[in-house]
Amino acid sequence: MSAQHILGLEKVPRVTAFAPPNKISELNQLITVEPKCKKLYNLCNGEYRGKLMTKEISSREKEIILGTILGDGHLAMLKSNARLEVNHSENQRDYVMWKYNELQNLSGAKPHAIHIFDKRYNKTYRQLRFSTKVHSEFTQFHQIFYRDLKKIVPKNIKKVLTSPLSLAVWFMDDGGRRNDSYGLFLNTLSFTKEEHKLLREALKVNFSLESGLHWIQDGYRIYIPSNNAEKFCRLVYPHMIPSMYYKLSFNPVTTSYARLDRARDRKT
């Protein structure tokens, strides 16, 4: 019996020292039941291999996870499965708690403060972090969005990025508005020019959004021009939390535009 067949069992067969070697190999990874999760063990050496969630991930949770992966989220491989790690500035505490509450069924400990040292600027920043438990679906996300431990944009992103909720989470993570116009941007500096092309095509096909590329000091970022900003804001506003509205250049409720501050134009 393979480990895959055992995942649904409530009781695990006991393997003794007298079990045939081929049977021990075949039953190398077994699952024992715990509330909301199952512990994964390597029977050959008794090594604990983390907590493997077996709870099904909902469509809403997947949409939030996708937006997080495109944004600031990080998928970390722990032995054979992955978990999602979420870090944000302490100034965005409301956003961290919103995301934690949305993913609470998949998560472990509550968000806690950490200190991150940025050697580029010789500064230490205080952030809030929480992690999910490991889950086979996070592993699948990792296989799609990572190559050689580097985050990538998969070629089929157009088929995946279809939800305004995912777009809103991505924007809350990595977006903002320009100071010299009503245009918006998504910080996508780590992606290649070809990957930006895939993302922009997804925005155009799935959301009817035109976009451009702007080069800044460390790479490209996606720019939503002023004539598409209102459409973008109307798409994401219903899925954003109030503390993140400051990133928008247009408020669909008050139908008012943000005040421009050309004095603070960053020439982007």
Mean pLDDT (the chain, rounded): 81
Q: How far is CA 126 from CA 30, 88, 136, in A?
A: 39, 9, 31
Give the type of residue at 87.
Answer: N
Q: Is the pTM of this model over 0.85?
A: no
Crossing angle for the helix pair 93-102 and 59-70, nearest 10 degrees? 140
What is the domain extent for residue 44? 3-53
Residues 6 or more apart whose CB falls under 8 angstroms from that of 126 comprise 89, 90, 113, 114, 115, 116
| 231 close to 250: Cβ distance less than 8 angstroms | no
Is 23's pLDDT higher than 50?
no
Q: How many CA atoms lie within 13 A of 184 on its CB side?
A: 30
Query: What domain count does the chain have?
Result: 3
172 and 264 share a domain? yes
Whether residues 64 and 123 fall in one domain:
yes
Q: Where are the alpha helices (DSSP H) in 175-217?
A: 193-207
At residue 231's C-alpha, the angle toward residues 229 and 234, to 5°, is 105
Band (187; pLDDT cuts 50, 70, 90)? very high
Q: Are 131 and 62 in contact (CB under 8 A)?
A: no
**Do 47 and 60 have their domain in common?**
no
Co-location of 133 and 159 in the same domain: no
Kindly report the CATH number assigned to the domain that includes residue 134: 3.10.28.10
Q: What is the pLDDT of residue 124?
A: 87
Q: Judge if 210 and 199 occupy the same domain.
A: yes
- pLDDT tens, position by position, 238-256: 999 999 999 999 999 988 8
Tell me, yes or no, whether 132 and 187 share the same domain: no
Task: Say yes or no: 222 and 243 in one domain.
Answer: yes
Q: Please identify, among 151, 169, 189, the residue that sits at the C-terminal boundary of a domain.
A: 151
**Does residue 188 share a domain with residue 138?**
no
Summarize the confidence of residues 61-77 as an average pLDDT: 97
- Write the pLDDT tens digit of every residue in 139-150: 999 999 999 989
CA–CA dist 61, 114 (Å, integer): 25
Given a cut of 90, whether residue 133 has pLDDT beyond it is yes
- Planar angle of CA 228, 247, 196, nearest 5 degrees: 55
Q: What token pair was written down for 257?
A: 């535009």
Rounded average pLDDT over 130-154: 95
Same domain? 240 vs 207: yes
Strands of the chain, DSSP E: 29-34, 37-42, 47-53, 74-78, 81-89, 112-118, 123-131, 134-135, 146-147, 150-151, 175-177, 184-186, 212-216, 219-224, 250-251, 256-257
Over 90: is that where the pLDDT of 94 sits?
A: yes
The verdict on 13 and 72 lying in the same domain is no
Backbone angles phi and psi of 34, in degrees to 5: -135, 165
Q: State the DSSP code for 12.
A: -
pLDDT at 121 over 70: yes
- Nearest one of 152, 144, 231 to 188, comparing CA atoms: 152
Average pLDDT estimate for 24-40: 35
The verdict on 215 and 184 lying in the same domain is yes
What CA–CA distance (Å, rounded) separates 21 from 165?
A: 50
Query: Are 145 and 170 within one domain?
Result: no
